[in-house]
Amino acid sequence: AQTVTQSQPEMSVQEAETVTLSCTYDTSESDYYLFWYKQPPSRQMILVIRQEAYKQQNATENRFSVNFQKAAKSFSLKISDSQLGDAAMYFCAYRSAGGSEKLVFGKGTKLTVNP
């Protein structure tokens, strides 16, 4: 079974600075998807960024980018120019490319942005 590990229960960053959230995963599959979801206090699950395992290029969405290291099974999220609105719980998630398409989540990292 696949597992996702987020080793940082909490992180903090100063407004306008950069922060990196860590995620590692374990799988025997070669094709899969990885995601970062943001969950603000409203509890809505918001997709931040998605990476297909077959793509070597790291995904980027505006101020959000990932460092995907397939061999190391690592998928970190970098948030640049942090804003107060980035404060939330961030979940890393794994999804198989075939068979079950359920998401397997890490335990989450609570990000605080200090003004």
Partner 1 sequence: AAGVIQSPRHLIKEKRETATLKCYPIPRHDTVYWYQQGPGQDPQFLISFYEKMQSDKGSIPDRFSAQQFSDYHSELNMSSLELGDSALYFCASSSIGGGYTFGSGTRLTVV
**Binding residues vs partner 1 (CB under 8 A):** 35, 43-47, 50, 91, 95, 100-108
DSSP 31-42: SEEEEEEEE-TT
Q: How far is the CB of 83 from partner 1 (least distance, A)?
A: 22
Which whole-number Å values give the CA distances from 19 to 10, 22, 96, 112, in the listed order?
Answer: 12, 10, 28, 10
SS3 state at 84: helix
We find the least distance from the C-beta atom of residue 26 to partner 1, in angstroms, to be 16
Closer Cβ to partner 1, 5 or 80, answer by number: 5
- How far is it, in rounded angstroms, from Cα 52 to Cα 40? 25
Least Å distance, CB 77 to partner 1, is 16
User: What is the smallest separation between the CB atom of 107 and partner 1, expressed in angstroms?
Assistant: 5
| 28 vs 43, beta carbon nearer partner 1 | 43
Cα-Cα-Cα-Cα dihedral sign, residues 57, 59, 62, 64 = negative
Cβ proximity to partner 1: between 37 and 68 the closer is 37
CB 15 within 8 A of CB 114: yes
Query: Which residue lies nearer to partner 1 by CB, 18 or 112?
Result: 112
